[in-house]
């Protein structure tokens, strides 16, 4: 294997370009091919990223023997088919979030990886953030003590992406705001705390703003404009309560749209201290001696999240490091999301299976 890992990117929409830009910052990565089903976009992105080898069919990219690893940056319904095909073709894979439409599909991806003996890294880029790394360091040092409660809040006032397109079509996306943005902080909560055992869920999802689409008022739309001839059959709001065995719990609120103030944070409480990430400079709420104390926590907050993600992936491909986010962890996160949707449909608490 040469010093540089030759990369192909499947899907060159917004996130595919983010991957290409990030790889350009990694000395040992070389993006040599792009693939997209939209010829005009493919040509434009090839020129933008300086890549000459372009494919409209991902099977042709995977058949290219020069390519050693691929980034999969396509709509969620294609994650499993393309990742599995990549492993069958002998490629290592960086797979964007969410892992797939369901935990069952995620397990099929794991099985394909095992058959091929290749690397799979999940694209959980929040783990690479300066705040995320700092939070895990605080927890690993025992500064929070025994963790018993977590809270995930991800609220957008009007943040539905690509209304009427694949983001809002359940058959293509697997769900709405919950699977799109909630997946990041669910993974971050379990990774920082070490609680990878969600056992029971009581939750509810709602569709209050996306249907009818013509009545949705907004100021901007990522991946827009709206396609009013398209579909909106996913959640725009979700809330619930998760048990991790008998000793740890998590409540969450995740929405693309709601009549509320936008807010985003992960809060973790332990018997020695509590801390919140995502709402300004972190403060450790603890005790010093026999006094209650708020301790300001300074750290280096300058970090290129995606470049660090790609750098770790390249090291994993070369056998020098473990993937930054493993396939097994991806399956666990999908099991949790599956259970949230099942709980909402059943109007009851369910077991995470």
Q: Please state the domain extents for the chain.
A: 5-126+306-324, 129-303+334-351
Integer-rounded Cα radius of gyration of the chain: 21
Residue 312 · residue 318 · CB < 8 Å:
no
Predicted confidence at residue 1, as pLDDT, reads 47
Alpha carbons 163 and 253: distance in angstroms, whole number: 21
Bridge partners for 254 per DSSP: 154, 238
CATH of 129-303+334-351, one of 3.90.1150.110, 3.30.360.10, 3.30.365.10, 3.10.20.90: 3.30.360.10
Alpha carbons 272 and 314: distance in angstroms, whole number: 38
- Tell me whether residue 1 is exposed, middle or buried, using C-beta atoms within 10 angstroms of its C-beta: 0 to 12, 13 to 18, 19 or more: exposed
Alpha carbons 275 and 136: distance in angstroms, whole number: 11
Residue 35 · residue 9 · CB < 8 Å:
yes
Residue 155 · residue 128 · CB < 8 Å:
no
CA–CA distances in Å: residue 59 to residues 8, 34, 186, 206, 235: 12, 12, 33, 38, 33
Predicted confidence at residue 298, as pLDDT, reads 86
CA–CA distances in Å: residue 107 to residues 62, 84, 121, 233, 234: 21, 11, 14, 26, 23
**Residue of 149, 142, 117, 121 lying closest to 276 (CA atoms):** 149
Residues in contact with 345: Cβ distance below 8 Å, sequence separation at least 6, in sequence order: none
Residues in contact with 319: Cβ distance below 8 Å, sequence separation at least 6, in sequence order: none
Q: Give me the CATH code for the 5-126+306-324 domain, please.
A: 3.40.50.720
Structure-derived torsion over alpha carbons of residues 300, 305, 307, 310, reported in degrees to the nearest 10? 120
CA distance from start to end of the chain = 40
Q: What is the pLDDT along the chain (353 residues), one digit of tens a residue?
A: 468 999 999 999 999 999 999 999 999 999 999 999 999 999 999 999 999 999 999 999 999 999 999 999 999 999 999 999 999 999 999 999 999 999 999 999 999 999 999 999 999 999 999 999 999 999 999 999 999 999 999 999 999 999 999 999 999 999 999 999 999 999 999 999 999 999 999 999 999 999 999 999 999 999 989 999 999 999 999 999 999 999 999 999 999 999 999 999 999 999 999 999 987 888 999 999 999 999 998 888 889 999 999 999 999 999 999 999 999 999 999 999 999 999 999 999 999 99
Bridge partners for 273 per DSSP: 286
Predicted confidence at residue 2, as pLDDT, reads 66
Residues in contact with 28: Cβ distance below 8 Å, sequence separation at least 6, in sequence order: 3, 4, 5, 314, 318
**Residue of 275, 253, 268, 296 lying closest to 155 (CA atoms):** 253
For residue 9, report the phi and psi dihedrals to the nearest 5 degrees. Answer: -110, 120
């Amino acid at each position: 294997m040469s010093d540089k890992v030759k990369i192909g990117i499947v899907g060159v929409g917004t996130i595919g370009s983010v991957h290409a830009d990030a790889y350009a910052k990694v000395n040992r990565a070389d993006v040599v091919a792009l693939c997209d089903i939209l010829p005009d976009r493919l040509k434009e992105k090839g020129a933008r990223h300086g890549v000459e080898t372009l494919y409209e069919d991902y099977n042709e990219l995977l058949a290219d023997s020069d390519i050693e690893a691929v980034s999969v940056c396509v709509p969620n319904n294609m994650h499993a088919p393309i990742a599995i095909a990549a492993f069958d073709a002998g490629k290592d894979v960086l797979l964007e979030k969410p892992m797939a439409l369901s935990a069952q599909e995620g397990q099929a991806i794991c099985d394909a990886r095992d058959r091929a003996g290749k690397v799979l890294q999940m694209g959980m880029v929040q783990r690479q953030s300066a705040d995320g790394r700092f939070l895990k360091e605080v927890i690993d040092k025992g500064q929070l003590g025994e963790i018993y409660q977590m809270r995930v809040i991800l609220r957008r006032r009007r943040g539905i992406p690509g209304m009427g397109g694949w983001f809002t079509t359940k058959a293509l996306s697997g769900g709405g705001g919950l699977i799109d943005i909630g997946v990041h902080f669910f993974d971050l909560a379990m990774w920082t705390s070490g609680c990878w055992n969600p056992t029971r869920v009581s939750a509810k999802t709602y569709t209050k703003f996306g249907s009818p689409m013509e009545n949705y008022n907004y100021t901007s739309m990522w991946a827009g404009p709206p396609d009013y001839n398209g579909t909106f059959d996913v959640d725009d709001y979700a809330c619930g309560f998760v048990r991790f065995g008998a000793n740890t719990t998590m409540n969450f609120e995740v929405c693309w749209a709601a009549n509320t103030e936008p807010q985003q944070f992960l809060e973790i409480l332990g018997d020695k201290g509590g801390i919140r990430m995502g709402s300004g400079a972190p403060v450790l709420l603890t005790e010093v001696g026999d006094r209650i104390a708020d301790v300001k926590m300074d750290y280096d907050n300058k970090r290129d999240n995606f470049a660090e993600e790609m750098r770790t992936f390249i090291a994993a491909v070369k056998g020098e490091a473990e993937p930054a986010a493993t396939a097994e962890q991806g399956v666990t996160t999908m099991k949790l999301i599956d259970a949230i949707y099942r709980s909402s449909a059943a109007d009851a608490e369910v077991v995470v299976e």
